[in-house]
Chains A and B, each alone.
Chain A
Amino acid sequence: MAPAVERRVEDAASAAAMRPASVLMKPSRLAAIQPSRISASRALINRAVAGRWRITRKSFAIDAVGKGIADYRIDTGTMMLSFPVYSFEPSPHGRTGRIIGRAWDMMGALVEGDMSAGDFETTRQELPKLYRGRATPGTLVWCRSNRSGRVFRKTQEALARGEQPAIGDIAETCYVMRNTGLDGNGTFGTRSFMALEPGHPLRSSLSAQMLCAYMMRVFAQDIIEHLAAQASPGAARLDPSVARFIGVGNGSALGLMFYVNNHPRLIDRWLGIREQSIAHASQLDLTDGRIDLLDNLVGQALHFRREDRVAYENATPSGVVADDLAVIRAALAELRDRRRAANAIAPTLADLPDYYGRPIGMDAEETLNSLSLELVPDFADALVDTLVVDEEPRPQPFMSVAVLRELVRSDYAWAFKLGIDPDQPGDYVWYKSVTAEEPRRGLRSEVPEGTVNLGLDLARMILALDRDLAASDARLSVARFLVANPERRAIVTRVQTLADCKYHSVEADIMSPDFVPAHMTRLLNVGIHGIDKARDFLNRNLRGVLFHGAPLPEDIASGTADRHWFNPSEPAA
Chain B
Amino acid sequence: MTVMTLSLREARMVLERLVLVAGVDAGLVPSLRECALFSAALGPASFEGIEANMNALRGADPKRLKMSDEGGKVVLDGRGLHAWYGAHALVDLLCEQLHDGRRAEMRVTGFAEPAELHVAVPIGLRQGISVAIGFQDGEAFVTAERAANGADPVMDIILNGTPVDADLWWRLFDESDKALAPDSFESRRHAGALIVEADGRVIGRQDEDDTDLSMLTGADKVAAARENFEKAGQS
Contact = CB atoms under 8 A, between A and B. Distances in A.
18 contacts: A100-B215, A186-B7, A192-B8, A194-B155, A194-B158, A397-B92, A433-B180, A433-B182, A433-B191, A434-B182, A441-B191, A453-B26, A480-B96, A483-B92, A486-B28, A490-B28, A490-B31, A543-B208
A172 B208 contact: yes
A313 B158 contact: no
Interface in B88-111: 88-89, 91-93, 95-96, 99-100
A440 B181 contact: yes
Residue among B5, B179, B192, B194 with max Cβ neighbours from chain A (10 Å): B192
B55 interface: no
B175 to A, nearest CB: 12
B89 A479 contact: yes
B70 interface: no
Contact of B181 (A451, A477, A482): A451
Interface string A474-496: 00011110111011111101000
Contact of A92 (B6, B8, B210, B216): B210
A490 B155 CA distance: 21
Given A253-B191, A537-B205, A192 B158 contact: yes
Contacts of A543: 193, 208
Given A148-B208, A194-B155, A439-B191, 4 more contacts: A437-B180, A442-B187, A447-B181, A538-B194
Contacts of B8: 186, 192
Interface stretch (B46-54, B59-67, B114-122, B134-142): B59-67
> Which has the most chain A C-beta neighbours within 10 Å: B26, B127, B194?
B26
Contacts of B158: 192, 194-195
A362 B69 CA distance: 57
B201 to A, nearest CB: 14
B7 A192 contact: yes
Given A251-B193, A253-B191, A487-B62, A446 B7 contact: no
A440 B203 contact: no
A154 to B, nearest CB: 12
Contacts of B211: 95-98
A538 B89 contact: no
B27 A185 contact: no
Given A186-B10, A190-B7, A313-B205, A448 B184 contact: yes
Chain B contact-residue range equals: 35 or more
A447 B30 contact: no
A100 B208 contact: no
B100 A398 contact: yes
Contacts of A478: 92
Given A100-B215, A432-B181, A434-B180, A491 B92 contact: no
B195 interface: yes
A393 interface: yes
Interface residues of A, number: 75
Nearest to A396: B95
A435 interface: yes
Interface string B192-228: 1111000000011101111110011000000000000
Interface string A144-179: 001011110000000000000000000011000000
A254 interface: yes
B206 to A, nearest CB: 10
A397 B99 CA distance: 9
A150 B154 CA distance: 48
Contacts of B41: none
Contacts of A432: 180-181
Contacts of A10: none
Contacts of B7: 186-187, 189-192
Contacts of A148: 208
Given A452-B20, A486-B63, A440 B212 contact: no
A150 B208 contact: yes
A541 interface: yes
B9 interface: yes
Contact of A448 (B182, B208, B209): B182
A137 to B, nearest CB: 9
A405 interface: no
A488 B205 CA distance: 43
A95 B209 CA distance: 10
Interface in A117-156: 132, 134, 146, 148-151
A482 B30 CA distance: 14
A540 interface: yes
A470 B177 CA distance: 38
Contacts of A537: 193-194, 204-205
A185 B85 CA distance: 30
Interface of B: 4-10, 20, 25-31, 62-63, 65-67, 76, 85, 88-89, 91-93, 95-96, 99-100, 126-127, 154-155, 158-159, 170, 177, 179-184, 186-195, 203-205, 207-212, 215-216
A94 interface: yes
B67 A480 contact: yes
Contacts of A417: none
B193 A538 contact: yes
Given A94-B215, A190-B7, A397 B96 contact: yes
In this complex, the member of A95, A392, A431, A433 whose beta carbon has the largest number of chain B beta carbons within 10 angstroms is A433
A395 interface: yes
Contacts of B186: 446
Contact of B26 (A195, A477, A490): A490
A486 B67 CA distance: 12
Nearest to B152: A392
Given A448-B187, A479-B95, A433 B181 contact: yes
Interface in A251-283: 251, 253-254
A262 to B, nearest CB: 11
Contacts of B183: 433-435
Contacts of A187: 7, 9-10
Given A451-B181, A486-B89, A541-B193, A433 B209 contact: no
Given A397-B96, A486-B62, A541 B192 contact: yes
Contacts of A358: none
Nearest to B189: A442
Nearest to A91: B212
Given A95-B211, A185-B9, A433-B180, A486 B193 contact: no
A442 B26 contact: no
Nearest to A481: B92
Contacts of A488: 27
Given A190-B7, A192-B158, A435-B183, A398 B99 contact: yes
A480 B88 CA distance: 11
A438 interface: yes
Nearest to A537: B193
A108 B91 CA distance: 45
A451 B179 CA distance: 8
Nearest to B62: A486
B202 to A, nearest CB: 11
A441 B27 CA distance: 21
A95 B212 contact: yes
B89 A483 contact: yes
Interface in A226-254: 251, 253-254
B208 A441 contact: no
Contacts of A487: 25-28, 62-63
